[in-house]
Amino acid sequence: QVQLVESGGGSVQAGGSLTLSCATSGITYSTNCMAWFRQAPGKEREGVAALDSDGMITYADSVKGRFTISQDNAKNTLYLQMNSLKPDDTATYYCAAANAVYCSDFYGMDWWGKGTLVTISS
């Protein structure tokens, strides 16, 4: 059974940093790609960062140079390090996984966490 549980959300000021974690079970990183999504109030859900099974990483243009996606196989955990945060980064962030090796197009995710709220104040 696949389970994804996000943590690490909170409230920080613009320019600050925050790291999100996604504890996983039932996921094999060699065959399951993973990604982070976010949804702000009144906006569409958008892909933020994707980590393919071959190690290729894709970032949304809005977060390039500021966010870093990574994984720790030993801890079965996916991370999203967020730096230089902006008010526009305020959203609920979701961890997702797919029964596929590529998530770079942010389509076809099969499993989702319940989300963790990130609020950036000015």
* 100 pLDDT above the threshold of 90: yes
Read off the pLDDT band of 91 (50, 70, 90). very high
What confidence score (pLDDT) does residue 37 get? 98
To the nearest whole percent, how much of the chain has pLDDT over 70?
A: 100
Centre a 10 Å sphere on the Cβ of residue 95 and count the other Cβ atoms it contains: 28
Dist CA 52 CA 116 (whole Å):
22
Q: Which amino acid is at 42?
A: G
- pLDDT category of residue 29 using cuts at 50, 70 and 90: confident
pLDDT, averaged across the chain:
96
Q: For 37-71, how does the pLDDT look when each residue is reduced to its tens digit (9 = 90+)?
A: 999 999 999 999 999 999 999 999 999 999 999 99
Residues constituting the chain: 122
**Residue 110 in 3-state DSSP?**
coil
User: What beta strand segments (E) does the chain contain?
Assistant: 3-7, 10-13, 18-25, 34-39, 46-51, 57-59, 67-72, 77-82, 91-97, 111-112, 116-121
pLDDT over 90 at 75, yes or no = yes
